[in-house]
Each structure stands twice: as structure tokens, then as C-alpha cells.
Structure 1
Amino acid sequence: MHDYLDDARNQDVLISVNGDLKKRGEAVVSVFDSGYLLGDGVWEGLRVMNGGVAFLPEHFKRLYAGAKTIDMDIGLGREELTGRLMDCLKANGMRDGVHIRLMVTRGIKKTPYQGPRFTIGKATIVIIPEFKMPVPSVIDQGVSLFTVHVRRTGPAEQDQKLNSHSKLNCIMACIQADKAGADEALMLDPAGFVATCNSTHFFIVRDGEVWTSPPEYCLGGITRGNIIQVCREAGIPVFEKRFSLFDVYSADEAFITGTFAGVTPVREVDGRVIEHKDGPISRRVRELYKALQARSLTPIV
């Protein structure tokens, strides 16, 4: 899902660290930074295409909601943060085929300790833009998933709607899938129903209907929400519902979604071959999403 084509230009990109543009090898943060010490922060992945940033208001809405949830002051308003993002892109001459990791942590600690009261100074804001395009063969071949024992937690443990730097739960799932020879981990909720993947969202197609899990145990994915939107607008039946591996193994089609690669077909789950790899509904959903993405662009100015 996240395999990308190497691009030599990335060796010379400028990275924004608290508004200062640094060369790749000089872009550093303190070992006392809250993100490094504790995973204390929130982040967004954004796509740049055709001279604009896709779904920027939606990504910023999630970013600021996450910051408020952890009681963190980003220190910049949305217009100011947009300006900083645009300045970084313009300094790099970036207008297409770019993926951005925008990260905000609580800032520098005066000593390694969890308590926010030990934070000194403002939030740390890092913007890493890279020329990055998905490997085309991934769409052609589809991806394989492996159902892992690591479960998605609920709001009582750590709310999955929070796009935090603390991703150890998903990393453990990713490791298990890697060890099993799969491309991505399929994760279940505490009751054993399908929840999501370790870094993407999961959809199946059965009898002309598109199914995805309810939102309680998965990130509020921007791409996930847009897939639901385009299905509804196109008259494709789409449901957020609980379903089990029984429904997955016998699905007509399956695909995963994310900001980086959009819609990617699934060819097998736990060794069970999906009947139609990149079937007609998956292809239609991909094209509908691409059209919506093209209409969503905030121009780089």
C-alpha cells in the first residue's frame, strides 16, 4: 500500500521545522521533544496534485480536533498553518506528485516526564514534503492481508479517532503481518468483528453493496469518508456495519483506502483469494474518488 517510486529529488527537499526551512540532513528536533519522548502529538498525511493540496480543510479539521482532544495548543491558526505549508511547498517547487507528513507535538520538555506541565515553549511543527508516487504494479497485483491477534481498542482505552503519534498498537499489528508475509494487517475489534487495517481502511463488496466497519474502532479516515460520500452520490449501496471474517472470505471484491494511494484492490485475505481482484465496483469507486479528489484542491499560492 505504501510502496513508492524512488525519486532522487527527495535528497534535496527543504523541510519546515517550526517555520525554518532546513535541508534533509539538518532537519532535527530535540531529544527532549514530547513527540520523541512520549509520542505526544498529532499528525496528518496530505496529497499534493495538479497545483493544489487535496482535502486540506478536512485534514485540518481532524488535526485541530485531535489537538483539542489532547489539550494541546498548536500555536497557529488554520490560515497561519496553511501559509506555512504553502511556503514549504513553494520553496521546494512542488505542485504535483507529492506526499506531506505534517506533525505537531506538544514541544520541548524540561525533563523526560509525561505531565504536560513539564513542557517548555511552544508546540513543535514539522512539515516533511516528498516527491512520492505509489508503485503502479501494486494496483495491478492487489495487496494481501493477514488477520492479526492485535485488536483495535475502543474509546475506553485509546480512542481510535485520535490520529496521534503513539502508534505502537498498529506497529505491532504491522510486524505480525510482515512476519506472515502479508502486505498489511487486518485488525478486529474486541468482539472479533472486522475493524480496519493497521494503516488503511478496509472495504468489501457483496452482492453489489459496499460494506465497511462502523467508526467506533477505526480512525476517522478522510479517504474513508470520501469513499462513503461518492458511493452515496452515485447510488452505490454503502453501509457502515459490523461484519466478520466469514463475510470477508466470501466477498466478491475487497479494497483498502488511504491518502497516499487512494483505492487499492485486495487480492487475498489469510490465504483466501478474493473472487474478483479489482472488480467493477472497486474500479468505479476509484474513478469516482479521483474525480472528487480533483475537485477538492486548495491551490498552492
Structure 2
Amino acid sequence: MTTTATNQSEITAAVRAPGTPAPAPRRRGPEGWRLREWLFEGIRWIILLALAALFMYPLLWLVSASLKPRGEVFDNRLIPKTFTPENYVEVWDRLPLLSWLGNSIFIAVAAALLMTLASSAVAFGFAYFRFPGKNILFGIVLATMMLPGAVTLIPNYLIWKYLGFLGTHVPLWGGALFGSAFYIFLMRQFYMGVPRELFEAARVDGCGYFGLFTRIAFPLTLPSAIIVFLFEFQAAWNNFTGALIYLNFGDVEDYTVPLGINYAMTQFSPTAGGEGDYQYVMVAALVVTLPMLLLFAFGQRYFIQGLSSGGLKG
């Protein structure tokens, strides 16, 4: 009898009149849901804190090693047994760190500015102008990204040698005058998102092509230009191979930061006649890391703004 009544209720629910709201499903008590949410939230925070500690450990180790004396640099203690803050004062006398910082800042700023302007101009040309063979030419530009850096290393060296710029900083930022295929592709996508009607209206008002680029296209896609600037600044700041090739035979004070730290590691090594004063290398490595941290902390919001505006089409 009970089974028959149950089947009859199921059939009645299946053939109920249209528009009749379905019965509300059974819900668990609020305490069960809250317990599950707290459990998931706790697991998520544990995973995030573990990953944060994993990524922060090298930086914390570097800070700790920079505050240790010579014999305790590599003892793997995060809290130094003997604090030696005077390392941050003595490093300026032991190494030409100020000259290395000045050289790297000049090269990185020059390379980033030139790369941003050159890539932006070329990208605007591919996005705005219409001419025969544009797609083929753009494909050739993108094809250059397929070439490994080692393939063009010797030709570039011979070019700079012929021009007489070996031993100078020019090869480290001069190549930025010709732009980059990746940055050209990136900024072209931003420029194609700008409504073409804006350019046509400006042309009616008598604005030239240079004005279209400087007054409309570039200001509207400024977040993308900042992204390119930050990426190229980091690439130029960390460029060890270029400095090793073009500056390694010059004066030590003309070195950049990566080459200078490599020089310090060699000079302080006991195998090269040094006394193992690696604490100064740790201080130098930490000091030269701070500008990049500050730069990316300042430009972090432009990454999100650039990605969000890049997805909008006019």
C-alpha cells in the first residue's frame, strides 16, 4: 500500500500542470554548508601560503646571507647567527657598485624607450595603413621570432665591430632602434582595437599621419606601451650575454650589473686568490634586485589594465 501511494505521488509530480513551480529540493542544514566552506577556505589558504613561502625563500635567503660575516654566508640559516649590517657600507668600497648601477640604468632606460617607440610606430603602420603585400610583410616580421638568438649572435657582433662600437654600451641598446617582432605583434593587436572612425574623423580635421599616431593611437594604447617598456627594461637589466660579449675586455667600471656580479664572484673566489668574501656579492645582488621590484610594483596595475583593454574592440 505504501509503495502504491509513493508511485502515485511520483506520477502526479511528473504530470503536474504547466507553470506550476517545482517543489523546492531538499537542502542541507546551514551548519553543514558552513563547515564545508570553512574547510575549503582553510585548504586554499594553506596552499597559497605554502606556494608563497616557496617563492619567497630565495629572496629571504639572500637577505639573510647579506647580513652574515664571511664564514657564515652559506650556513643556510634564515636568521643570521651574527648580524653584520656593515656589509652594506663596506660593499661600496670593495666593488664599483655605483658605476655598475648607473651603467645598467642608462642602458635599460635607453633600450626600453627606443624599443617601445620603434615597435609602436611599426605596429601602428601595420594596423592602420592598407597597402599591397602588407600581410606577407607582417608574416616575414613574425617569422623572425623563429630564429634562435644564437643564429644572429655572430652577425650582430661583426656589424658592431665594423661600426667600431666594441667595448662601448651602444650594442646593448642600439639594437632597440629596430624594434622587436613580438612587441610589434603585441601592440598591433591593441591598435586594431581602436575604432577606425576616430582616425577618419581626425583626418577630416586635417590631422596628419604622425598626429594620428602621437595624439590618438599611442595615448589610447598607453597601457600596452608601458607593458612593452617594463618587459624590455627587465630584458636589458638582466642581459648578461650581451655585456659579456661587448664589455668583458674593457674597464671594470664600465660593466653592467650582471657582468659586475659575475666579476665579483670570480674576484672573491679562493681559487682566484680571493678570500671568499661572498657576503659582498650577496649585498650587491640584493641591491640590484630592488629597482626591478619597485618597477614592477609600480607597473603591476598596468598589466591588468593592458590585458583588459586589449580584449575590447571598438
Q: Which has the higher strand share?
A: 1
Instruction: Tell me which interval the TM-score lies in, with the shorter structure as reference length.
Output: under 0.3
In the superposition, the TM-score normalised over structure 1's length comes to 0.24
Tell me which structure has the larger Cα radius of gyration: 2
Q: Which has the higher helix share?
A: 2
